[in-house]
Amino acid sequence: MPGAPPRPRAPGRLAPLPGVLGGPLPAPGARRLRARLARGGLQGHPASRRGRGPALAAQDGGAGRLRPDAAAEGRRAGRGELREPPRGGPDAPASSLRGRGRQEGMRQAWALLRLLLDPRVTRVPARVLRELGARGKRRLPAGVSRDLSGALGRLKRLSFLRRWLDGERLTRHDGRWVLNSFLPPFPGRAYDRMFENLLSGRRLSPVSAYLAITAECPYDCWHCSLSGRRGGSLGEEAWRSIIAGLHGLGASVIGFTGGEPLARPDLPGLVEAAVAGGAETVVFTSGAGMTSERASALKRAGLWAFCVSLDTIDPAECGRLRGDDGAYGAALEALRMARRSGFYTMIGAVATRPFVEGRLYEGLYRLARAEGVRELRLVEPMPCGKLSGAGQDEHLLEPRHTEELKRFHVETNRAGRGPKVCAFNRVEGPELFGCGAGTQHLFIDPAGEVCPCDFTPMSFGNAAREPLALIWERMTAAFGAPRRRCFIQTHHGLLDKHAEGGVPLPLEASLRVCAEAGREPLPDYFKMVIGEE
């Protein structure tokens, strides 16, 4: 960002997202308290008086199960006959939301306590920290470590935790905790991997990697971010080799996208390869081509999450936006098959200016609740693919739109009922973790070109032609550190300037763009990690 202050002197390896915040709870009697929690509750806790333990209850009675009236509500939603949400939803009166928020805050506190007392959650972080100490290595510079270990440091950490988790909602799915779809569920191998990466010697490891395994798609979506890229495709063995490389880098979440990933018959095998190596997996789809047989195959392969792209509850408008009159019905049917299969189900929407100004997210939220979906995931329009170039600014959000989506994210999650909301601009906002493109996340297109993220068409090498670890090192060196603002939103003009030969930009042009973009101040989380005020 022009005029940004210089990046502070390298502090050493940056911790993964939860890395410096937690650790085991060193309290006397923890084992007894853990046993009481495991038996279902503490006497006197408000939830126990309602016949519920302090652990946060799964949405609507558990993964994949609907309230008695929800199936009928889902059928009405599919016909466009959405009824008003029950009290406590995102459009409930403010007083009701405050009451729900207080109750949810108590449940969240008990859920966090249960996490801290669960050795499956704390064992690996504690072991990693002990091993780093035995090696004489610090997570942080000595002065910063002293600052964060004292009373003031604890206040800083607690302040950040409160700011972060105030708008989040822990839920249970398939016996594990889920904060949101940007992080792996825990406990689990992928969660442990984020901490074990601290022992790898790498300064940065990717938390997530998304693979566009095909450019093929039966739809012509208005916002396609892959549109306009140079062609190319890889076979199954090449993708398996890339997945092995991601395991070597320690990626915790591997997403499969496209094009339409369901168009590849070998998708279950690729999911299985990702799961076998210790990652959690997500499929991002329009729903086209989903069948009960495919759902069963993905379940056997170990798929964790299934996200269906849907921007409206109007079937005709959905057909217009996708170029296929059957797109809405296919999306709903895919969601239902995914829910019946036990996947962590999501609706993913692109939030344009009209989408925000017309509060269309509320209708999608009601649909998500009626269908038993676990999360509504909201992503801003990005200046790439079909939305790149002149004349597309009308889709891009202004600060007032961004703030409205953040408010919806926070207030809905505080209410503590129905699906959670995950707004991209809240999770990657400057007050939390910022933009992780090229430092916490990577994207590989159908031809094998490795890019910082799905929406930033800058190649740093081809994973089918050189080791992925070498490409990752090259890319992280160019990006330097996480940024306060989305890279492509801030610097798409620079990419356009260097895109004479098309996209993705070749390596030399990508390096020039990074050099011209310069460094930026760190997001608040990483400021806390290195002790920068």
* Residue 85 domain-assigned (yes or no): no
- Structural domain ending residue among the three candidates 168, 184, 215: 168
Rounded to whole angstroms, how far apart are CA atoms 300 and 91? 39
Do 149 and 269 belong together in one domain? no
Q: CB–CB of 444/209 below 8 Å?
A: yes
Asked if 481 and 519 touch (Cβ cutoff 8 Å), the reply is yes
pLDDT tens across 81-131, in order? 443 333 344 455 545 555 655 676 677 677 667 777 788 878 887 787 788
Question: Is residue 159 situated within a structural domain?
Answer: yes
Asked whether residue 455 falls in the same domain as residue 505, the answer is: yes
User: In the listed set 123, 144, 168, which residue is the last one of a domain according to the structure?
Assistant: 168
CA distances from 315 to 75, 112, 320, 324, 332 (A): 14, 41, 9, 10, 10
Reference 161, options 55, 13, 18; nearest CA is 18
Q: Quick one: 436 and 484 in the same domain?
A: yes
What pLDDT is stored for residue 390 in this prediction? 62
What's residue 108's pLDDT?
67
- Same domain? 289 vs 417: yes
Q: Which has more pLDDT, 201 or 15?
A: 201
**Residue 107, domain extent:** 98-168
Angle at 451 between CA 255 and CA 406, to 5 degrees: 65
Is 280 within the bounds of a domain? yes
For residue 82, being part of any structural domain is answered with: no
Q: Report pLDDT digits (tens) over 167-177.
A: 899 899 999 99
The residue from 143, 168, 193 where one domain ends is 168
Based on the fold, state whether residues 328 and 455 are members of the same structural domain: yes
Residues 396 and 459 in one domain: yes
Q: Is residue 10 part of a domain?
A: no
What pLDDT was estimated at residue 72? 44
pLDDT the model gives residue 155: 64
Q: How does DSSP assign 111-171, residue by residue?
A: HHHHHHT-HHHHHHHHHHHHHHHHTT--SS-HHHHHHHHSHHHHHHHHHHHHHHHTT---E
> Are the C-beta atoms of residues 497 and 467 closer than 8 Å to each other?
no
Q: Phi, psi at residue 503, to the nearest 5°?
A: -125, 155
Asked if the structure places residue 312 within a domain, the reply is yes
- If one counts the domains in the chain, the total is 2
Question: Are 308 and 377 in the same domain?
Answer: yes
Residues 6 or more apart whose CB falls under 8 angstroms from that of 462 comprise: 447, 448, 449, 450, 471
Shared-domain flag, residues 111 and 230: no
Examine the domain organization and report whether 236 and 367 are in the same domain: yes
Higher pLDDT, 491 or 67: 491
Which comes out higher in pLDDT, residue 145 or 65? 145
Mean pLDDT confidence for 178-202: 89
We report the CATH number of the domain holding residue 380 as 3.20.20.70
Specify whether 422 is located in the same domain as 298.
yes
Q: Do residue 212 and residue 316 come from a single domain?
A: yes
CA pair distance 272, 274, nearest whole angstrom:
5
The answer to whether 441 touches 257, Cβ cutoff 8 Å, is no
Give residue-wise pLDDT tens across range 201-235.
777 899 999 999 999 999 999 999 999 999 999 99
Between 202-206, 269-273, 528-532, the lowest mean confidence (pLDDT) is in: 528-532
User: CA–CA separation, 404 vs 277, rounded Å?
Assistant: 39
Closest CA to 204 of 495, 472, 23: 472
Q: What pLDDT does 296 receive?
A: 99
The pLDDT value recorded for residue 34 is 45
**pTM: predicted TM-score of the whole model, two decimal places:** 0.80
- Would residue 61 count as lying in a domain? no
Residue 156 included in any domain: yes
pLDDT tens digit string along 455-464? 999 999 999 9
pLDDT band at 77 (very low <50, low <70, confident <90, very high): very low
**Half-sphere exposure for 180 (CA within 13 Å, toward CB):** 23
* Per-residue confidence (pLDDT) for residue 286, from 0 to 100: 99
Residues 205 and 119 in one domain: no
